[in-house]
Structure formats: structure tokens, C-alpha cells
Structure 1
Amino acid sequence: MRVLSASALQREIGLRFSSNHLKNVLLNASASGALGIKTFASGEGRKEGELGSNDFTQNKSSNKKFSSLVDDSKGNVGGQQDFRSRADQRFSARRECAAHSMISSYTKSQDPLLVLAKEGRWQELVVSLTGSPAERHVGTTKECFVWFGRSGKQSASLTLFELLKNAGESEKTLTHYLLVYTTAFAASFGAEQGWKSFRAVEDMVGVKPNSTLFEDLINFFCNQGQVSRGLDILDEMQKRGLTLRPTSFSPLIKSFSDHLMLDEAFETIAAMRRLKVEISLEIYNVLIGACVKAGDMEKAYRVLSDLQQQGLQPNSESFHQLIKGFAQQKRLKRALGVVQEMDHFGLKPDKYTYFVLLRACGSNKDFSEATKLFKVIADLGLESDETVLSALIQAHVDNNKLDQVLQLVKKLDMKGTIVGVDGTSQILRGLALAGRLDEAIRTYEELGTKGKLPSPESVATLLVVLGKAGRMDTMLKIFEEACSPGSWSDYPATYRTNYLNVFCSHICLGYFSHKQLEGGVKFLEHITKLGMTNNRTLYDKIFLQITNSKGDGEEENSINAGDGLALLRALKAKGVQLSRLAHETLLDHCASMRDSEKAWELVHEMEKECLPLNIMTRIRLFRVFVAARNERDAKKVLEKTRRVDLLDRDVRFLLQKIMQHEFETIEADSFKDIPSFQALLAIQKQLKVALGSY
């Protein structure tokens, strides 16, 4: 297996990132007026990993690139170091969020055995748990292993494993406890330490893990963003001679597909073929979904064709993915045509098919087609289905037909048809977006009287509109209810944590847009003390939203760069350490406001935090000074940019694209007569000199 040096690995990752992504960053910036920092920082929207003209069944370059993923002669399933590193980089943000959001519900239990565990009275605990299997409470034993793992009590867990084994506990149950302990340990101390602890317990206790245990571990580590550890475990399974099944690979393929790492997903499929592991229809559907998400419908149809060549028949889910894909591309007629393709395979449209089609009508602003579909749905007797109704209501809301949908809901109510939480959430969102806040709040409260909460998306929309309207008390009341322990308990923990960050950032922006800096900072202090959010993620999100808000005075209560700078300083005064992302997003805001002075103040703040001005910082600064028509400072940035950076083709592209965008903002019929055009010409001349020197 080829091992890369640190510098070589960094270079490979840098080249991959640069060539596939940097140009799209600026193209997005030209349209949005920002340098694309959100996309650049998070990797959202990054389209990677496309195959060439050959599909994965014939792609020799793919097999060569993935030659170390499955090397039958060496027994190595894990893959190259650069493959693992690329995967881990992509998943790092997700891992941080997941680790932060895991809440230990068992710590609130008053079970006396758990009290012993929490108080560290290990000897009493293991004695209490080691009666005959019939006398033990299996659930409590499991909870104690979770506590051992979370607390890093490896010696205590070893003692308990030994005693349980000597008491006649079955191998199956011991294996389950080993999984519980390992995942809890890894959640607290990281994947590497979790794996080491697993090996130590396995060796000392003599437990023999089976394929199911290893597959559960692969799934866990992939969900934690540690895909390279999942590949290691796949290696381990092959070395031990355990059977590799579709379920051994599916967590890896799903993780790659979720993050649009299509090369890696298809290469994993190629590895399965070389190992003669069956590829299930479920895995094919995941691949179709990944292609759809990446916007590559041609490749999605190649996957559909390949699964048929393998003797499988597509199901409704296969076609639902295709409908979604065409809807995303605003090709509604093509999406409707997929229904005819389903009929060719003997598949009839079900309620979910119509749900997807109605959603497509909403996103494509085609209300007339949505109306036709609903008539078909009514004829089929599906009009009372809550899922279908929510999609129909969303189509109305997205097409600004709010009054019509309210009348429809009244008619359905008279028939005894229940709209449901999802449909009501869409109505709430529509009322909020229309500025009908009193009706929106009344709808929210009506759901509350039934003991239910609207969807997090609709609550987020309501909070935004309340913040703009300055109704802070109502906003805080809704936030408090959203933070109650039972809120959205059926959602994954990471999902709830993410929306909690969104809610907090909306509330802060509500304060800042009304020049209530002190109130916003106090709110942040409060939630920080309660430990309700991932603070670093929250602060970054707040500054991103400030950057994306209008700050040029066109909107009432707009947030300008001065407001963002004041917040940055206020948080630092409270001892908060802000990331580079927080500082640089404000530079983007300065560019949109053409504010050179505030940009230099931000540079000084970065210097105080010992954040060096890297090439992306300098590109942002150059954009600020070009937008402000500041010849002197633009020249200064170019002069202080390193020669090696100016030689980089992507850096040169970005600098030239900045100039192109600014020229395009000047009206063609009058640009020659205004001073800003002359300033732009002078800066362009300076840029040509700087780039031409190399």
C-alpha cells in the first residue's frame, strides 16, 4: 500500500480541492455578491467524484485508483491513505456536530445500579450485576456498559465482562455489550481510542466478534464521520476470514453518497464486485439518489440500467429518486414522464409518487399541474392522506396561493379530513412569509393545544419573521418551547442540534437588526452557560447570516459591517475565541458594502488573534478594495501577496474574476463617464502588472 508523506498528502488534497471547487466558489460569489465563504468553508454544493464516459463496470482508471481498497493478494480492504484522508476531511464537520449532540439520557435515571456507576463504586456495581442471568436486568447492565464507555473505565468494564462470562452469560449477549461499550467509548474519546479499547477488551475477555458486530461498528463510525475507521474494520473482517456481505459495505456507500463523493461510492461498488459480494437493490437506490443529488441524471440512468443487467428489477423508490432529480432541474414534464416508465415495469404510482410529484410542482411554480394532480389523487381516494395533503399545501404556498389553500383546508375540515402536523406546518410557513404574523402565531398555538409542535423548518421561518418585526418576547417564548426536552424527539440528535443552532442564530439576528447588541450578547451568554449548542458552530453561523443579510440600507433594520464588527469585539470581550471563518465572513460583508475602513479594522482584529493573512484572506481583501474602488489599498494587497501564490492558476483566476464581476456591475451605457470606471481600470492595470511579473 502506497503511503504518502504529510506534505504530499496535503498537496494532493489541496490540488483536488483547488481544481474542483475554487472556481465554483467565485462563480457563486458573482451571483450572490459574496465570495462564497459558506460554500468554501462547509463544502456544501461541492460537486465531486464524477466518473468519465465509462460507467463503473468498465472504468479502468477507477479500478486502478481503488486498487488498494481490495487487494486479494494482500488481504487489504482499507484503501490508500489519501483515500481515507480525503474521506475523513469531508466528514470532520459532521463528526464534530454528532459528538457534541449526543445526550446521555441514562444519566438522569435514578436506578441504584447506575448511581453506583456514576459515583465510581465499581466493585459494588459488578457484584450487584453478576448474579445468575435470570436475576440480572439486562437493560441496566447495558446502561452500565454505556456509562463505563463514556467515562473511559476500561478496567471496570473488563472486570464486569469477566464476571458476566463466568456467570454463564451467552456469547451473543457479551458481543452486544462489547458493541455498546465500544460505541460509547468512541463517542467520548474518539474513534482511535475507541478501537484500541475494543481490541483490549476483546483480547483479555476472549469474546469472539461476529460479522454483525463488525458491521454495526462500521455503521457507527461512518455515522460519526470516521469513514477511514470503517475501512479499517472492513480490513479486519477480511483478515479474520469473516463473511463480507452487502451490509458490510452499505454504510460506507451511504456515507460517500450522502456527501456526493461519487468516485468513492462507485469504487466501493467495484470492490464489492471483485470480492463477489452481492449488490442489493437498496444499494443501487442509494447510488441513484447520490447521482440525482449531484444533478447527474445521465449517470443515474446508467445505474438504473446496470441494476437490470445484474438481474434486479427497479422498485418505486428507484423511480421516485428520478422524479426528484428532474424536479430539481425544473424539468417537470420529464418528471411526469417517469410515471409512464414505472408502468413499463408494472409499477403503479402510490401516494408517495404523488407526494413527490406535488413537491415538484411546488418547486417548479406550476400550480396548474398541481391542481390536475390533485384531481387524479381525489379520484384515487388519496385526498385525505396527510402526506399527500402536506405536499399539496406546500405547492399552494410556494406558488403564493395562500388564500386558496386556506379555503381548501376549511372544506376538508368540514368533511372531517385531518390536515396533520406537516400540512399545518406548511400553512404556518406561508402565513409567516406573507407577513400575517398574528395568524401564524395563532396557528402555532393551536398546534400547541394539541400537544404538538410544527416542523423545525416552519419554526425557523417564523423566528426569522418575528425577529425582523421586532417581536422579541414572542420569539423567545417560541424558542423556549422549542428547547423543551420532548421537542422533536423523533428526529436524530444531530438534526435537533443543528436546528437549535439555526434558532439561536435567528434570534441573535433579530436583536442585532434592531440595534440591540447587548440583548443579543446576553442571549448568547445564557445559552452558552446552559450548554445548549455547539458554540463554535453557532458563532460561525451567526456571522455567516450577517454576511448574507442586506447591509446597504435598502432594507429597514439592515445589519451593516459595523454591527458585525461590534458583535465580534463584544464576544471577544467576553472571552469568546472566534474562528477564522467568523472574521473572514465579515470581510465578505465589507465587500458587499464597499467598506475599506471596516475591512482594515477586521484585519487588525485577526492580527490580535494571531490569525495570519493567508491567500484566501488576501483575495477577500482585494475584493473589498476593488468593490470600494480603492486603488491604493488594492495595490498594497497585490504587492504583499507571495510570488508562489500569484503563480497559482486558481488564485489568478479568482483575482481576474473579481475584476470581471465589478466591471459587469457598471451600466454599459454610462460606465465611461463615471469615476468608478476609471478607478477599476487603474486597479485592473495594477493586477496585470502583478500577474504579468510572473
Structure 2
Amino acid sequence: MARQRLVPNAVAYNAMVKAFAKHDRKKALDFLGEMNLRGLSASPDTYHSLFLALWQAGDAHAVVALFFSMRTVNAVPKVESFPIVVASCIAVADVKKALSIFSGMKQVGAAPDRGIYVSLIQGCSSTGDIDTAAKLLDEMNAVGLEPTVSTYGYVIDACGRYPSFHNLQRALALHQEMKRFGIPLNTAVYNTLLASCVKNQETEKAIRFFEEMKTLRIPRDLGTFISVIGACAKSVDSNRAIAYYHEMKPSGVQCVRSTYHTILSVCAKNGNYVKATEILSDMKKSQLSPDAQSFAFTMDACAKGKDVHKALEVFQEMKQRGLSPTSGAYTALIEAFSKTGYSYDAIKIYDEMKQIGISPNAFTFSALIEACARVGEIGRAFSVFEEMKQSNVAGNASAFTSLIDACAKRGEMEKAIVVLEHMKEKSIALSTRIYTSVINACTKAGDSEKAFGMLDEMCSFGIPPNVKTFTSVITACSHTGDVAKARKVLYHLKSCGVRPNIFTFNALLGVCISSRTQRKELFLETMKEMKMNKVKANTFILVSLNELLRLDAGLRYEFGETAKDVLGAFRIDIGEPSAAEMAGLRRKKEWGP
């Protein structure tokens, strides 16, 4: 044509583009560019040939670019081209463009086919746009394009990958819809439902789906068992986890190491060391030899179950197999010794651990602090505490609570406050129990001002005091006989809706005994509150009342010579003494004739 000086027309160009599209896409695109420069229009068939060739070559980006270039020359694609373009947008992760093309397609009256809907649903599901995916699924049903099991699976899978209560409910509704429409359910759908339940911590629903699979004879694979055992682990149900583990072999499913470890970890949380050792034995018989983590989990179960001898046995076997004990294994052994009263042995294990160069972690430090605190080794516990701080390890609330409790028993107020300040610095959750222990330490140290300060601080943090907290602060007031503060605490207690107990009233009487002023006012208020709360007097109340009467002739004159006289005057009952109280009373004769 060039030699004859003939100018190609649209028909010739269209033919050339189609011809080259099959084997030389670059040349075909060049011809298309020439057509546009010459103002010639490519036919919808020509564009479709290029779309098809580019898609088959895996060049999704070129498909999308070509489609949007059509708009600049006002070209209209064939209906058959839309599925390729939509699929290409999904392939390049541009779901927004795919939805825009889908909308434009409907506006020109082109009916989307099943392939377009499936591509869009898959794309929206993969990006977490579950609302749009579900809407498209409904639209498919409305136009008579029945979704397949895999189409439903895309949306259900997305609900599992983006866990929330709303998405779980949507997944459950889709499952019911599939059953209603008679769409055959398969293993993949049930696995996604199970995984969704596990992520949303819906253990019972996960188990229900697992049992439904058995009823419907739907094959269960490794993923099925991993999910249902994982659900049991989240609810710390070792018995059910083991029961499902025993179903794996008859179902032709081989257990993997991660599943063994899941079961061992839940046994550890339950302290079910008998089952843990059985699972460890099964691992030995299988092709999967237990590793250091397997032994550590088993030892942890022994520690939680307070069987130190079994923990030692597992530890020795671990070393005999040539496995280097991990920090987790040493921590479990330290915890086992600590929980069974062998705190000094726990300290020895810790020293051994450091000697062989294994760095302790937060759990190790916590277990050792608890071990030292149990035997009153406050100095050693604080040495570990300082070492933990130097290692920049945060520790946990359990260890610090044990340390503060130990400080409280010895009246080590300053040390208790140091631990509390460290917890605040590391943003470790503070609790009523922790503050109550610190207040106990202040009380034992006789520092009522500090006790009051701690009460104010915990309230300012929104941590609610309980009856033990208030009673401890009142006891602190008894050291100084500060009636005004004791009454203030009693008012605070009542305003918080906390009911005083027998120890609270005994602490109030202790303040009366220590006080030289306003004694009678607090005494009358204490008796009135005892009567109102229907609290029966016990040995401690009798002892305190008798001491108060001994000190105050005015009260003796007004209410009687003995504790029984006072209680009778206020119509407060006396409870039956316990065996321990009776033994003490026989010695001290506090009950009188």
C-alpha cells in the first residue's frame, strides 16, 4: 500500500490490529495509535481482540490502560470485553476502578454475567469491603445468576479475616442462606466459618459447626481440626481439645507440631499435667519428635498442676535428648518449685539458669519474685526486681502483687511504694488488690497519712476501693487515734455502696480505744452501723469492747460493765464462736460467766 501511495483506511487498520494482536501485541498497539492520530475509529471487535491478547499474556495493567484510553476517543467496548477489563482491575488490586466500570456497564444497558459478579465479589472481599461484596451477592441472586459455593466462600472468608461481631453474624446468615438455597456446603466453607468463630472467640459456635460437619459427613481436614482445637484453647478447655485431637487419626488427618503445641499450651493453662504428658508421649511415637518448646509446655503444665517431681522428670528427659532447656523450661521449673513451697530450690534453679547464659524473661523474673516473696525473702526479691529493671523487662502484675503483699506483711511501706511507682511507670494495670496491699504496708508501718494518700490516689485513677481497702485505712487511723479521719473513711465507704464487715467494725473500735477525744461519738456510730448492717459480734469485737470499757468509765457507767452488756443495750447479736475462737476464749475467758 505504501509503494502504491495508498492510504490505509479504517477497515485495513482494524484488520492489521487484529492480525498482529495474536503474535505481536506491541505492533498491534502501534497500529492502534496510528489510527487514533489519523482520526480513524477502531471497531469494538478490534479492541476486544487486543483486550483478549493482553489478558492472555498476563498484562492486566495494559488491559486497564487500554480501556481508559478508549474514553479519550469516545470508543465503546463490546459487552464481552467488560469481564476481561473488570478481572484486570481486580488483578491489579484496583477494586474501585472495577466497580466504576461495572456501574458504567449497567448504565449502557449491558447485563453483567456471572464472571463479572464473581470477580467483583472476590475483589471486594479481598480488600475487606464486605458490605459491597454482600450487596453484589444479593444482586446476583436477584438477577437469577445463582452464586456458587466458592462465591459465598469469598464473602464468608472475608468475614473471618476481618473479625467483628457484625461480620460473624453476616457469615452465619450467609451459611443459613446457602442451606436455604440448596447450595452444597463443603470443607472450605466450614473451615472459614470455624476460623471466623475462633477469631471472634465464639467457641460454642465453632464446636457446633464442627459437629454439623460430622452429621453432614463433610470431610474434615487439618484446617478444620486446627480451628476447633484452637477454639477450645481460647476457652482454656483442655478436655475438649484433647477429645478432638483423638478424632484426628480416625479421620485420616495427621497432627502437626503446631497443633500438638496448642494442646500442650491449653493443658499448661489448666494445670492438666497428666494429659500434657500423654500428648508428649504421643509426639515421641509420631514422626514429629518433641522439641524444646514441647517439653517447656509440658513442664509448665506440671508447674500449674503443682507436681514438681514430674516437672523435674520432664526437665531431665529434655536434657538427656540433647535439647537445650529454654528460658520457658527454666521458668516452668522455678514456678513448680515456688508453688509447692520449695522456694529456695527455685532460687537455685534461677542461679543455674544464669550460669549457663540463658537470659530470664518477664515470666522468669515474675516466678522468682513470687518464690522469694512466699518465704519472706524480701531482700532477695528486691535484688531480682532491680535486676529485672536493669534488663528493661516490664514484668507482670502477678509478680508485683506478690512483692507488694510480702512488703505489706513486714510493714515495708517504702519498698511497696517503690514497686507501685515502677508499675505506674511501665503502665502495668493497677488494681484494687494492689492498692489495698500498699495501704496495708502503710498501715503496718503506722503511717496513716500515706494510707490516706494512697486511698485518694486510687480513687483519682478510678480504681474502686473495697471493704478490705477501707478497713485497712481505718486500722491506720487506730495508730494515731484519729477519730475524725476514721469517720471520714466510714462516710466514704458508705457513699461508695460498700458494706462494712466485722473487721471494719473492729478497726473502728480500735480507733476508739486509741483516741482520747470524740471517742463516744465514734463508738455510738459504730454500734449503730453494726445494728443496721445486722452484723453479729465475734471474739474480736468482744475483746475490743472489753478493752474500751476498761479505759472509759463513762461508757461503763452508761452501757454496762461487760461487752455483753453493751451488745445487749444496742440489741446486737453474738455469733457462735469458731473452734479456734473457743480455744482462745477458754484461755482468756473473754465471754464471762
| Aligned mates of 1:425, 1:668 — CA distance in 2 | 35
* Matching residue of 2:427: 453
Cα distance, 1:348–1:443 mapped onto 2, change above 3 Å: same
| Aligned mates of 1:521, 1:138 — CA distance in 2 | 57
* Matching residue of 2:469: 510
Superposed displacement of residue 394, structure 1: 3.5
Kindly report which structure 2 residues correspond to 1:113-512, keeping only aligned pairs within 5 A, or say none: 130-131=99-100, 142=128, 158-159=134-135, 161-162=137-138, 174-179=155-160, 183-185=164-166, 197-199=173-175, 211=187, 214-221=190-197, 226-237=202-213, 243-253=219-229, 256=232, 264-288=240-264, 297-328=273-304, 330-383=306-359, 387-407=363-383, 417-422=390-395, 426=399, 429-431=402-404, 433-435=406-408, 436-446=412-422, 448=424, 452-454=426-428, 456=429, 459-466=431-438, 471=451, 474-475=454-455, 477-478=457-458, 503-504=463-464, 506-507=465-466, 510-511=469-470
Question: Kindly, what percent of the aligned residue pairs are identical?
Answer: 15
Cα distance, 1:271–1:366 mapped onto 2, change above 3 Å: closer
Superposed displacement of residue 350, structure 1: 1.3
Superposed displacement of residue 463, structure 1: 1.7
| Aligned mates of 1:173, 1:353 — CA distance in 2 | 42
| C-alpha contact (below 8 Å) 1:178/1:198 kept by paired residues | no
Q: Deviations over 1:579-636 (max 9, x none)?
A: xxxxxxx9xx9799999xxxxxxxxxxxxxxxxxxxxxxxxxxxxxxx9569xxxxxx
| C-alpha contact (below 8 Å) 1:222/1:255 kept by paired residues | yes
TM-score, normalising length from structure 1?
Answer: 0.44
Range that drifts further, 308-317 or 342-351: 308-317
Q: Which amino acid aligns with 2:300?
A: K
Aligned-residue CA RMSD in angstroms? 5.8
Superposed displacement of residue 339, structure 1: 1.6
| C-alpha contact (below 8 Å) 1:246/1:277 kept by paired residues | yes
Cα distance, 1:403–1:311 mapped onto 2, change above 3 Å: same
Superposed displacement of residue 441, structure 1: 3.4
| C-alpha contact (below 8 Å) 1:561/1:590 kept by paired residues | no
Q: Deviations over 1:267-290 (max 9, x none)?
A: 433433332232334444454555
Q: Deviations over 1:312-332 (max 9, x none)?
A: 322333322442344345543
| C-alpha contact (below 8 Å) 1:384/1:418 kept by paired residues | no
| C-alpha contact (below 8 Å) 1:217/1:230 kept by paired residues | yes
| C-alpha contact (below 8 Å) 2:160/2:167 kept by paired residues | no
Superposed displacement of residue 342, structure 1: 0.8
Cα distance, 1:203–1:158 mapped onto 2, change above 3 Å: farther
What SS does the corresponding residue of 1:434 show, helix, strand or coil? helix
| C-alpha contact (below 8 Å) 1:254/1:286 kept by paired residues | yes
Q: Which amino acid aligns with 2:254?
A: E
| Aligned mates of 1:210, 1:391 — CA distance in 2 | 47
Q: Which amino acid aligns with 1:510?
A: T
| Aligned mates of 1:246, 1:561 — CA distance in 2 | 68
* Matching residue of 1:49: none
What SS does the corresponding residue of 2:349 show, helix, strand or coil? helix
| C-alpha contact (below 8 Å) 1:218/1:248 kept by paired residues | yes
Count matched residues: 405
Unaligned runs of 5+ in 2: 1-94, 102-118, 475-486, 512-525, 542-573
Q: Deviations over 1:382-438 (max 9, x none)?
A: 34655544443343333322223434665787xxx4242107984575245413444
Cα distance, 1:418–1:278 mapped onto 2, change above 3 Å: same
Cα distance, 1:248–1:139 mapped onto 2, change above 3 Å: closer
* Matching residue of 2:519: none
TM-score, normalising length from structure 2?
Answer: 0.51
| Aligned mates of 1:182, 1:431 — CA distance in 2 | 39
Q: Which amino acid aligns with 1:453?
A: S
Unaligned runs of 5+ in 1: 1-125, 149-155, 188-192, 484-502, 525-541, 568-585, 596-626, 631-661, 676-694
Tell me which structure has the larger Cα radius of gyration. Answer: 2
Cα distance, 1:304–1:565 mapped onto 2, change above 3 Å: farther
